[in-house]
A = this chain, B = another copy of it.
């Protein structure tokens, strides 16, 4: 989004002074102090204000100054429309047109369609066109996070003239550290770094120092793929091309860091069955609304477990002590399943789990299930025998743990693999979900065996 930064300076923020100058309507005092701040700090300050003070800021700052702040504003997606509604529409449209185009697109994507269209209608036509070109890319693709603010040159010129172009474009471009070399049809020929320009003589021809074997991504590629490439190759930016190799935009490392954080947070919250992580600020009601769908699904899955146990009521009536070990066995199944799940989901997410490795993973998990099952099974047999003095009960619980751990470990690995195969995001197979599935399996094994070998238990 924001240019790959060199605005390294950060002023130690004098909050009280800023708030005082807002209260006293000391415009000059406010501007002097505020514009010294790094945009990220400007945004942090802005975020904490109430509406009355925010509205003052819209009057004190130009749309261009507000655009810089807005690019750095980290608020919930659904809050953008409220903040924009506080501004005069012309001011808002002007501000959006002054933002880096990828950030402008992110903001417009959060608005109702008419709202977005009305801003586009009143803003500068050229800016509106640039935004519209980007608006139609699907979410989570390279196209949706790229920017068109890059520097490009043609190959048949010298380092000197390239430096001249660079100086002119520096204020607007997101990064000036990579310069893309294009042919007449705007097809990507190669890339040259500012480092290359600097270490070479002024009269060197660009064509002679262009790197022509370039890594690029397609406009429809997944943003995770983009993040992985930038991370693996340590790039500062990656060009985005269409199928004819026309350069459409670039994606910079700072945007990719946001993607990485988003994806990590997403996987994490899915493992915990919280649909999209709620921030601290939400009310209990809205937090409950986010968690309840999961809890109710899990409640019904839990009722299935209950009705399964209900089928063994007769067994239970005869040997009530069986109930004592239900949470232990179900719990162990859940735990081991979650472990296996996490390994598989991360393997898929990081790309480690390529086709050739899938069978390897399944065999590995089966082996792991046997080993952990055997050790935990023997341990639990001994403990139960010592505790309850019943060798048969010990063996029953031990064997249940053994078979449960094998099945649950395999299920934990297989379910995400299957989901991935059927193009469902495997992270949806959250911890609690796998846990409940494994509850069912483990209860069936435990009570099934108890019923079969009832005579030894009585």
Contacts and interface: CB of A to CB of B under 8 A. Distances in A.
Interface of A: 1-12, 36, 38, 40, 163, 166-167, 170-171, 176-178, 190-191, 193-196, 198-199, 211-215, 230-236, 253-254, 256-258, 260-261, 264-265, 267-269, 271-274, 277-285, 287-288, 291-292, 294-296, 298-299, 302-303, 305-307, 309-310, 313, 316-317, 320-328, 330-332, 334-336, 338-339, 341-343, 346-347, 350, 352-353, 357, 360-361, 363-368, 370-372, 375-376, 379-380, 383, 387, 405, 431-432, 435-436, 439, 443
A267 B194 CA distance: 38
A198 B215 contact: no
A280 to B, nearest CB: 5
A405 B280 CA distance: 19
Contact of A267 (B268, B336, B376): B268
Given A283-B367, A320-B323, 8 more contacts: A6-B193, A166-B198, A177-B177, A257-B260, A269-B342, A273-B338, A295-B372, A327-B330
A67 to B, nearest CB: 15
Given A260-B260, A339-B291, A379-B299, A5 B233 contact: yes
Given A294-B339, A326-B327, A170 B193 contact: no
Contacts of A338: 272-273, 431-432
Contacts of A317: 320
B372 A291 contact: yes
A23 to B, nearest CB: 22
A405 B291 CA distance: 12
A195 to B, nearest CB: 5
A448 to B, nearest CB: 15
A9 B213 contact: yes
B332 A309 contact: no
Given A294-B339, A306-B324, A265 B370 contact: no
Contact of A235 (B5, B211, B214, B431): B5
B375 A292 contact: yes
Contacts of A230: 257
Contacts of A279: 347, 352
Contacts of A370: 284
